[in-house]
Structure 1
C-alpha cells in the first residue's frame, strides 16, 4: 500500500509546512515504535464516555485514522477490545485527545495509537458522538480528510488542501539534507554550511 506521507517524518513535515500543524507534544505514541499515517475520520466525543468510539469503528473506512476529541479526559477511552475491532475493519490507527489503556496489548497487535496519556479509569457509554465535523485535538483544528502523521517525535495534521504542497516541499528538504550530509562527512562545518555569519565562521 502506498504511504500517503511518502515516508516522511513528522518533524520533516512540520518544517516543510511552514505553519503550525504540529500537535501538543503531550500527545504521544502509546507504545514505542508506533507510526501513524492516514486520512482523518473525525469524532467529537466527550470525556469519560467511549460510545462514540465504538460507533466510529463501524463507520470509518479502511485506511482511516480515527481522530477523537475526548476533552483530554483521564479515562481509558480505548483498549484491546476496540483495537481488535478496528483492525478487523482495516482502520489505520487512533489519535485521541484523552486517555487509553492496554498499551502493551496494542503494541503486541501492532495497532498505532497516539494519546494524551495512558489511563485505566473506566468509561460510560451514553454519548453517541458527532462524526465528520472539525475537531480540536492537541490544540490543532483537524477536519475530515486531513493527513495525520505521527511518530516518535510527535504528530502533525496537514490540511487536505495543502497535502500535495507540503509533501513536495518535504521531498525537497530531504534531498537537500542528503546533500548536506555528504558535505558534512567530507569535513565541512555546520556553521559554514548554514552560513550563520562571518564572526562564527571564522572560529576554529
Structure 2
C-alpha cells in the first residue's frame, strides 16, 4: 500500500478510524490486485455521460485519486484511453460510483480502479461535470483532499484533518496484532487472548 496510508490496508485503517468511513461493498476493485492510496480529487457527473471524467483528468493534480459520483450508473464511463491519459498526468487511480470497462487492459498497465460495475455499455459526452465539490460515493461523503484507500477488501475514506491520527492508531493496531499472532504461534488461543467466553460458559 502507498506511503500515503502508512502502508496500511483498508481494513486496518477502518478499524483504527472508528468512523463510518467504509464505502459499501458494491464498490470494489475492477481487477484483482488493484490497490490505491492518495488524496481525493472529487468529481460529480451524470450517469451515462463521461465528459466529466475527461475534464477531471486535466483538472486533477498529479498524485491524486479521482473520486467520482456517477449515481451508480451501469455504463462504461472509463476505460483504457482515459486510464492512459490519467497515468500520463500522474493520477494515482480512480474510485467511481458507476461503471468502467477495459478491466484487463487497466490491470496490464497497473492503473488501479474501483467501481460498482464493469460493463461495455457506452456513454455520451454532454455534461462537463462539477469538480472539487463534496460527493457521495459508496454511501460516504468525500471532500477533495480526504485520504482514499482501496484494496481487495474495499474502499475507505479518511477525513483530511484526522488522517494522520488514524494512521498513527493503525500503526499501534498492527503492532498489537503482531504480538497476538506471535502468542497464537506460541500456543495461546484466540479465546484466551481476547477474553472470550468458551463453549458451555453461557
Report TM bin, short chain: over 0.9
Partners of 2:119 and 2:166 lie apart in 1 by 34
| 1:196, distance to aligned residue in structure 2 (A) | 1.1
Q: Which residue of 1 aligns with 2:96?
A: 96
Partners of 1:75 and 1:176 lie apart in 2 by 43
Q: Which residue of 1 aligns with 2:189?
A: 189
Q: Which residue of 1 aligns with 2:157?
A: 157
Partners of 1:184 and 1:26 lie apart in 2 by 34
Is the 8 Å Cα contact of residues 191 and 201 (structure 1) preserved in structure 2?
A: no
Counterparts of 1:23-102 in structure 2 under 5 Å?
23-102=23-102
TM-score (norm 1): 0.96
Partners of 1:3 and 1:134 lie apart in 2 by 25
Q: Which residue of 2 aligns with 1:15?
A: 15
TM-score (norm 2): 0.97
Partners of 1:95 and 1:19 lie apart in 2 by 20
| 1:138, distance to aligned residue in structure 2 (A) | 0.3
Runs of 5+ consecutive residues of structure 1 not aligned to the other structure = none
Counterparts of 1:99-138 in structure 2 under 5 Å?
99-138=99-138
Structure 1 residue ranges, 4+ long, deviating more than 2 angstroms after superposition: none
> How many pairs align?
200
Runs of 5+ consecutive residues of structure 2 not aligned to the other structure = none
Partners of 1:173 and 1:3 lie apart in 2 by 17
